[in-house]
Copies of this chain bind each other. A is one copy, B any other.
Amino acid sequence: MSNGKKEELSNYDLSAGDKIRIKTSSEEVREGFFIPSAKQDGDIVLKLESGYNIGLKEENIEKLEVIERKKQGKEDVGKNKDFKYSKDAKNVLILHTGGTIASRVSYEEGGVKPGFSVEDLKEIYPEIFETANISSEIISQMLSEDMEPSHWKKISEKVFENLEDFDGIIISHGTDTMQYTASALSFMIKNISKPVVLVGSQRSSDRPSSDSFLNLKAAVKFIEEGIPGVFVCMHGSSDDEIVFVHRGTRVRKMHTSRRDAFKSIRSEPFAEIDIEKDKLVLNGEIQKTEDETELLNDLDEEVGFLKVVPGMKKKDLEKLEGCNGLIIEGTGLGHLPVNSFDEHTKHHEKILGKLEEICEDTVVCMTSQCINGRVNLDVYDSGVKIKDAGVVSGRSMLPGTAYVKLMWALGNSDTLEESKDLLLKNVAGEFIEREDYDVFR
């Protein structure tokens, strides 16, 4: 296109999902579906038949042709099954909660905002809707940093009431707190009978480099295996080759922006999927049960979280008094300054005494800011003192997982002792059972 490009483009009045053909100045012809609002990476984003997005610079567009306008449907409300049903394909429910996967770039205000409808997602990912019988429902339209424990309860209810009817459930979710929601669902649904897979993306779906397509496609493929449990499915490498499936209780977002940000901690990913080669490698152990599925989603939100830093004072512990539970993210094997001496006041800080006091009516659990490895309060003298004060060891539980689990353990028991027992029982793979097993890179 030559001068006055903007006018020319706007003359076409393109909508998400319109099938267009573009001839570039280098004589290439590209055909695909138009995706709006993706000017960050190129002036037009085309969703190719292969499922991948490409960006094209406006000045390189020689000719644009609309092949087919998308069907204008009403906005989705409630569950929705538009695509043809195949009795050989799996029945999959996608529950949309929001997040980058359902977001677009907002040029007016700067930043990314949640804003895709299920309808939009269908237009962008028709292939996914063709490999399985997909139903979908919007639960919320929020970025995951705004997720509250009350939302976990809502999601768990939706999952629980649909488990019977589907072969698997995908939850599209923002990546920021995905690991916390995955942990919550892992504990809330007892004897889970189907795969429940959280999927997100690190690049919004309207960007050429979006990882949402491959993550969703891999989630559908994983569901075909019929392995029960709660999992997170995200890119395993920075290119579009491998997707990892992680156990919901052992996964952590380890990079702010890369597509392969999610890592299983102290273990290999539960499964590795190569979509191109149609290959799935299973590393994890399958746990199946015939026992009845139960919803145990009561939570006690009065759980505090304290990360230990040098210079931590007794007053930092005092601020957390009154909680019913407390997760400490200690240093090393699970330490805090129990012997610290204040050079200014020339007094011992008596942090230990305060800790002992708090332990009288609070479940206090020690985890480690090292992330990898396991808490061990028996190695150092200071660890022994912390244990003697009444603190329980979170062992190989991740701090975030322990935080969610403590809310759940307190919510589903009557006494502090019962809560402790529940907290320290391996419910959903949150503990590494084999002491000697360790993956660390």
- A-side interface residues toward B, CB under 8 Å? 106, 109-113, 142-152, 175-177, 180-181, 253-258, 260-261, 301, 303, 305, 307-311, 319, 329-344, 368-376, 378-384, 400, 403-404, 407, 438, 440-441
Residues of chain B within 8 A of A149, CB atoms compared:
310-311
Inter-chain contact B111/A384, CB cutoff 8 Å: yes
Minimum CB–CB distance from A41 to chain B (whole Å) comes to 13
| Interface of A, helix, strand, loop or mixed by DSSP | loop
Residue from B253, B329, B370, B403 in contact with A253 in the complex, judged by beta carbons closer than 8 Å: B370
Closest 4 CB pairs of A and B: A256-B373, A150-B343, A176-B332, A176-B331
Inter-chain contact A143/B335, CB cutoff 8 Å: yes
Residues of chain B within 8 A of A375, CB atoms compared:
256
Number of copies: 2
Residues of chain B within 8 A of A332, CB atoms compared:
144-145, 175-176, 253, 256
A283→B227 CA distance, assembly (Å): 45
Residues of chain B within 8 A of A340, CB atoms compared:
146, 148
Residue from B180, B333, B339 in contact with A256 in the complex, judged by beta carbons closer than 8 Å: B333
A232→B233 CA distance, assembly (Å): 36
Inter-chain contact A257/B373, CB cutoff 8 Å: yes
Residues of chain B within 8 A of A113, CB atoms compared:
380-381
Residue of B with least CB distance to A109:
B381
Minimum CB–CB distance from A252 to chain B (whole Å) comes to 8
From A143, A148, A256, A334, name the one whose CB has the most chain B CB atoms within 10 angstroms: A256
Residue of B with least CB distance to A260:
B440
Inter-chain contact A307/B329, CB cutoff 8 Å: yes
Minimum CB–CB distance from A347 to chain B (whole Å) comes to 12
